[in-house]
């Protein structure tokens, strides 16, 4: 077992309410599998913690044995930061309980919960908050990174709705961060990710929400430039209730897709309306009038919508992003042209997300400079064959390069992998990054929590 003492491991195992999984144990390979199938790392042990005391014990064990510490929530880090070769993984997935306070309009959710856990609990009370765009996303990493989703134009980013966070620090202390308790740490948790401790619980603000209405409008790829112009004009005047995105993809086999388009490159304008189909039909009218090649409009529970675009496990992933200050006709043409480099057929998606709404109006000075950008281009590469890796990665970089003339330079760190220290600064803002470094020095001076978009502690 490398340099680890067997007796020490057994003592650690006995001290936990949860469990310890070692290489060779049943369940080791499933426990170390993450969303990105490119990542194949073999930790020395995986601590499946069941309480904040377990988290503190796991941190202490890792530090005393010189082990690199990885924190796993949803496991969606495209760079595989929730695993460590030869280190210890603190697996939070058992900490997934969600308690809803319908009177206070809040939800308290465990650090290992996914969007499915949160959305299922809040939906029973006719409430919701901004979540990730698939049900398997971890609430923790999503929220600490900022948190944009289908409802953000209406309800703001996930971090805008953060009421408090419970953390276990590098020295094993239990602390709460909120506007009143440790306010500087609370500020840092709005975009600074997992740099400052292990988040074991979040309290989030909720909003009344019945059903949502989802329109999936499919267009042949050669209609892309014209449709993108129309979509741009539509979203720039749409009410906050409208979210969604314009997505080049491999057209799926479904009733809304014409047979001749199935399996081919197509453009999907995905429209999400926070309200009834009657209201949504009026809001969607400008795009519906363009006569898509295929369409589906349906009212459904928000939690069902969240699961609608879940990707199957076992895909190879490579993503990036550029935020744009504008999306003129030339940008629409450049964006559409880059769709030709996608792997088709595959699960890859060439995405244009709109900003605006409550996201842009928020006045809090959180360390997320990208929030005012009106558009985000997100090349989201997913494929199955390792032989496609070089092609998929090149396509992602080509998209970024093509959109540079309109780019702000800012980036949402949850959308990227390892792209260097400059991109981390770009995701946080230079002045914010310096301030975050000082917060890091206070709460994690030894940089114990470094498997993330790492902020180096200030000297």
Contact 157, 146 (CB under 8 A): yes
Going from the N-terminus, what domains does the chain have, and what CATH number goes with each? 6-91 (3.30.43.10), 98-208+430-443 (3.30.465.10), 211-415 (3.40.462.20)
Total-model pTM: 0.96
| β-bridge mates for residue 198, sequence order | 168
Nearest of 174, 172, 107 to residue 143 by alpha carbon: 107
Dmax (CA) for the chain in angstroms is 70
pLDDT of residue 1: 43
Please identify every stretch of the chain with a pLDDT value under 70, giving residue numbers as ranges: 1-2
What is the structure's pLDDT at 4? 84
* Closest CA relative to residue 109, chosen from 132, 82, 84, 77: 132
Residue 95 three-state SS: coil
pLDDT of residue 45: 97
Dihedral class, residue 47 (left if φ above 0, else alpha if ψ from -120 to 50, else beta): beta
DSSP letter at 418?
S
pLDDT at residue 384 in the model:
96
Supply 176's token pair. 């709460």
């Amino acid at each position: 077992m490398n340099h680890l003492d067997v007796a020490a491991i057994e003592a650690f195992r006995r001290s936990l309410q949860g469990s310890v999984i070692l290489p060779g144990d049943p369940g080791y390979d499933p426990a170390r599998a993450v969303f990105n199938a490119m990542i194949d790392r073999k930790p020395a042990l995986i601590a499946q913690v069941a309480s904040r005391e377990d988290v503190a014990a796991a941190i202490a064990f890792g530090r005393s044995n010189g082990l690199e510490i990885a924190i796993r929530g949803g496991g969606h880090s495209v760079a595989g930061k929730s695993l460590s070769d030869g280190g210890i993984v603190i697996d939070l997935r058992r900490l997934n309980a969600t308690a809803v306070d319908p009177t206070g309009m809040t939800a308290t959710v465990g650090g290992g919960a996914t969007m499915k856990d949160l959305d299922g609990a809040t939906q029973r009370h006719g409430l919701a908050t901004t979540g990730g765009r698939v049900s398997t996303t971890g609430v923790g990493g999503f929220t600490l990174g900022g948190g944009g989703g289908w409802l953000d134009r209406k309800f703001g980013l996930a971090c805008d709705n953060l009421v408090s966070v419970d953390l276990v620090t590098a020295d094993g202390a239990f602390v709460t961060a909120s506007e009143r308790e440790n306010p500087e740490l609370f500020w840092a948790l709005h975009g600074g990710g997992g740099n400052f401790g292990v988040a074991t619980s979040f309290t989030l603000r909720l909003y009344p929400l019945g059903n949502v209405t989802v329109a999936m409008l499919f267009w042949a790829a050669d209609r892309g430039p014209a449709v993108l112009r129309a979509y741009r004009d539509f979203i720039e005047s749409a009410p906050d209730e409208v979210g969604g995105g314009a997505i080049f993809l491999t057209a799926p086999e479904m009733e809304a897709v014409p047979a001749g388009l199935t399996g081919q490159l197509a453009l999907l304008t995905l429209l999400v309306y926070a309200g009834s189909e009657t209201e949504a039909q009026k809001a969607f009218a400008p795009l519906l009038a363009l006569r898509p090649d295929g369409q589906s409009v349906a009212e459904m529970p928000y939690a069902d919508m969240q699961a609608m675009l879940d990707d199957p496990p076992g895909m190879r992933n490579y993503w990036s992003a550029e935020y744009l200050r504008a999306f003129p006709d030339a940008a629409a043409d450049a964006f559409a042209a880059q769709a030709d480099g996608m792997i088709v057929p595959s699960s890859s998606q060439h995405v244009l997300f709109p900003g605006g709404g409550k996201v842009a109006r928020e006045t809090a000075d959180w360390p997320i400079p990208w929030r005012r950008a009106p558009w985000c281009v997100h090349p989201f590469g997913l494929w199955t064959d390792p032989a496609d890796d070089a092609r998929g990665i090149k396509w992602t970089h080509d998209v970024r390069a093509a959109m540079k003339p309109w780019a702000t330079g800012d980036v949402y760190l949850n959308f990227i992998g390892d792209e260097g220290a400059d991109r981390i600064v770009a995701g946080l803002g230079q002045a914010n990054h310096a301030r975050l470094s000082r917060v890091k020095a206070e709460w994690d001076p030894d940089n114990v929590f470094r498997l993330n978009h790492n902020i180096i502690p200030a000297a």
